[in-house]
Amino acid sequence: MSDQEKSGMSRRDLMAKIGMLLNGAAVVILATPVIGYLLAPIVRGDGGRYRKWIDLGELDEFPEGQTRLAKYKNPISNPWDGETDNIPCWVRRVEGEKFQVFAINCAHLGCPVRWFPQSSLFMCPCHGGVYYQDGSRASGPPPRGLFEYPYKVEGGRLMIEAGQLPTLSTSASLRARSNGCQG
């Protein structure tokens, strides 16, 4: 084998190794965000959810036996979110420190439901879904009752656990029930 052939081989080897290195670097660059996304829930140890207890206000703001609209600032927010940062929810004070805090979104396709004190019903303007005052389904297309936030009373103030809208997947409703709510 001539010197020229030897140097040709080594150049090819070198080029092949550089190519492999560049491929490896490209794989790392492309895979890092994907792996980070997949591992983030494990690293954070919160199951991928970002939840936070939010102060909804003093108990006096929610008279017993009434349902009132409240708003809270989304704990997961961006500077450009603007008004959408303020998330409404329905607060029903059953009695004493027993509450139900409902997501405003209909359990059918998510339209905001409205409370009608005259009939003690929540109604959805989109497809006519109706809910009783305890959030349970009364009629229409919704497959279930309204979703509920977990809540607690602390220092005379009503707190809800927010940061992820309550849905079936969060099992927030189940935990709300464990606080003594019905629904």
Q: Pairing mode, if any, of strands 86-95 and 67-73?
A: antiparallel
Q: How far is the CB of 134 from ligand FES (least distance, A)?
A: 18
Q: Which C-beta is closer to ligand FES: that of 111 or that of 153?
A: 111
The position carrying tokens 């936030």 is 149
The residue (of 107 and 158) whose beta carbon lies closer to ligand FES is 107
Nearer to ligand FES, 62 or 147 (CB): 147
**Shortest Cβ distance from residue 146 to ligand FES (Å)?**
10
Which residues make Cβ contacts (< 8 Å) with residue 180, sequence separation at least 6? Answer: 98
Cross-strand bridge partners of residue 67:
92
CB of 128 to ligand FES, least distance (A): 6
Burial tier of 10 (Cβ tally within 10 Å: 0-12, 13-18, 19+):
exposed
Residue 1 to residues 6, 7, 28, 80: CA-CA distances in angstroms? 7, 10, 38, 68
Shortest spacing between CB 32 and ligand FES, in angstroms: 39
* Residues binding ligand FES (CB under 6 A): 106, 108-109, 111, 124, 126-129, 140-142
Looking at the Cβ atoms of 40 and 109, the one nearer to ligand FES is 109
Q: Residues, the chain, total?
A: 183
Q: Which is nearer to ligand FES, 56 or 104 (CB)?
A: 104
CA atoms of 38 and 76, how far apart (whole Å): 19
User: Min. distance of Cβ 144 from ligand FES in angstroms?
Assistant: 12
